[in-house]
């Protein structure tokens, strides 16, 4: 029994350290540089585009169609889950008079705001058609009429996961949060409505937006403390 608990603790420690180190490693890179690289990939030559569409074909064309409804449900629950997180934090903070929970809720909303401006702004700036509009063999479960790059669903999923991970840096928060975000990103490719590069860009933008909100929140808190001591 003691050995089993020891092994379980080691697994928890590994998951926590892996996800937390990965998250910090991504954020230490320049956020705008990552976005620019993603845009350059989308607008680059034939080889990059071929890689993108071939990967999408391997996911969408040869998919297990029995998973279509499950993937659609994951997609449909993305925005409600994302909205529920800050609302839950704010409601809990208000009821319990918990200033930390209130601050976390406002921080999450701030990350969503940055993410929305970047994601939807880039959609119209890059103006990339949906993959099924360019490649007839891509089979969308449900066609969309707006632009493809970046994936808005993925950006909000990763914004939510990153905000939760930064506010509550525990392995049992980080692991399921990012697993959910990855599942959302994969569902967009499975359903044939996004290229892999759309999903990758959405992940970078979503995670980076929440990180910027987190840094901004910490800066504001330091200013408040400084004012109290002056």
Q: Count H helices and E strands in the chain, helices first.
A: 9, 0
Arithmetic mean of pLDDT, 22-40: 51
Based on the number of CB atoms within 10 Å of its own CB, is 141 exposed (0-12), middle (13-18) or buried (19 or more)? Answer: middle
Report the alpha-carbon distance of residue 105 to residue 51 in Å, rounded. 39
Backbone angles phi, psi at 142, to 5 degrees: -150, 115
Q: What is the CA radius of gyration of the chain?
A: 19
pLDDT at 44: 53
pLDDT digits (tens, 9 = 90+) for 159-183: 999 999 999 999 999 999 999 999 9
pLDDT at 221: 81
pLDDT at 91: 97
pLDDT digits (tens, 9 = 90+) for 106-146: 999 999 999 999 999 999 898 899 999 999 999 998 888 88
Query: Quick check: pTM over 0.85?
Result: no
pLDDT digits (tens, 9 = 90+) for 48-83: 578 889 999 999 998 999 999 999 999 999 999 999
pLDDT class for 13, splitting at 50, 70, 90?
Answer: very low
CB 213 within 8 A of CB 167: no
Residue 17 has pLDDT above 70, yes or no: no
């Amino acid at each position: 029994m003691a050995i089993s608990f020891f092994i379980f603790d080691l697994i928890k420690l590994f998951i926590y350290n892996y996800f937390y180190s990965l998250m910090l490693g991504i954020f230490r890179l320049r956020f705008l540089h990552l976005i620019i690289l993603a845009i350059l990939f989308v607008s680059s030559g034939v080889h990059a585009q071929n890689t993108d569409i071939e990967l999408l074909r391997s996911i969408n064309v040869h998919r297990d169609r029995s998973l279509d409804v499950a993937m659609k449900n994951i997609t449909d629950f993305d925005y409600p889950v994302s909205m529920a997180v800050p609302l839950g934090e704010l409601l809990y903070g208000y009821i319990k008079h918990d200033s930390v929970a209130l601050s976390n809720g406002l921080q999450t909303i701030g990350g969503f705001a940055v993410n929305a401006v970047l994601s939807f702004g880039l959609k119209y700036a890059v103006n990339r058609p949906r993959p099924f509009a360019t490649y007839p063999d891509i089979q969308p479960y449900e066609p969309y009429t707006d632009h493809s790059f970046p994936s808005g669903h993925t950006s909000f999923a990763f914004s939510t996961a990153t905000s939760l991970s930064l506010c509550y840096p525990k392995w049992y928060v980080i692991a399921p949060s990012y697993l959910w975000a990855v599942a959302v990103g994969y569902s967009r490719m499975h359903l044939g409505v996004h290229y892999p590069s759309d999903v990758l860009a959405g992940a970078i933008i979503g995670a980076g937006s929440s990180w910027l909100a987190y840094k901004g929140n910490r800066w504001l808190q330091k200013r408040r403390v400084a004012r109290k001591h002056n």
